[in-house]
Amino acid sequence: MRLPWLRSAAPLPPTHEDLVRRVALGDEAAFEDLYDAVSPQVFGLIRRVVRDPAQSEEVTQEVFVEVWQQAARFDADRGRAVSWILVIAHRRAVDRIRASQASADRDLRQGIKEFQESYDDVQDIVEAKLEGERVLKALESLTQAQQEAIRLAYYGGYTQQEVANLLKVPVGTVKTRIRDGMIRLRDKLGVA
């Protein structure tokens, strides 16, 4: 007679610690199971630190390469496997940020050393400023409604829908004001 409480239970899935021990022995299937189990946590941590998705993916890959190579160093008496992996992930993420910052600082220092404002740059700046003044003067020749719509769309960076919402008019009206204003500006500035 079998007792109901002595049913043969299905084997428990391996713990993260078991998987790391098997990875240390070169078990690729265990590595795959470990990756599937903890990669979302690892990527999430790295993504919060690094912020850039592509770099976060690269750092995540580096972390799992290190886990594969260093699995034999894991000591279950010192902590959980997930904690060990997340410490590696955090360290790698911080290293990536520091390397990126150092590279940006180096590029900035080099750029400052190489920067020399030429006469061509000054001429371009003066021409752009004069052209901007011409456009602003031509803009004053438009109706107030056209000026508002064009200033919001081109100088404010708003979409036509956003301009319509700000001015509390239909989108079609905004489109007409911008189109008519641009035609008048083109004629005023002599642009083909």
Tens of pLDDT, residue by residue over 112-128, are: 777 665 556 677 787 88
pLDDT band at 48 (very low <50, low <70, confident <90, very high): very high
Distance CA 67, CA 33 (A): 13
Q: Is the pTM of this model over 0.75?
A: no
Distance CA 71, CA 143 (A): 73
Residues in the chain, total: 192
Closest CA to 55 of 86, 98, 25, 87: 98
Asked whether the predicted pLDDT for residue 65 surpasses 80, the reply is: yes
Q: CA dihedral defined by 96, 102, 105, 110, rounded to 10 degrees?
A: -120
Q: Lowest-confidence range among 77-81, 122-126, 171-175? A: 122-126
Q: Average per-residue pLDDT in the chain?
A: 88
Q: CA dihedral defined by 59, 63, 69, 70, rounded to 10 degrees?
A: 140
Encoded tokens for 64: 């799992």
State residue 126's pLDDT score: 78
Full set of structural domains in the chain with CATH = 13-112 (1.10.1740.10), 123-191 (1.10.10.10)
pLDDT band at 14 (very low <50, low <70, confident <90, very high): very high
CB distance 30 to 56 below 8 Å: no
- Listed as own residue / partner, the contacts of 166-175 with beta carbons closer than 8 Å and 24 or more positions apart are 174/149
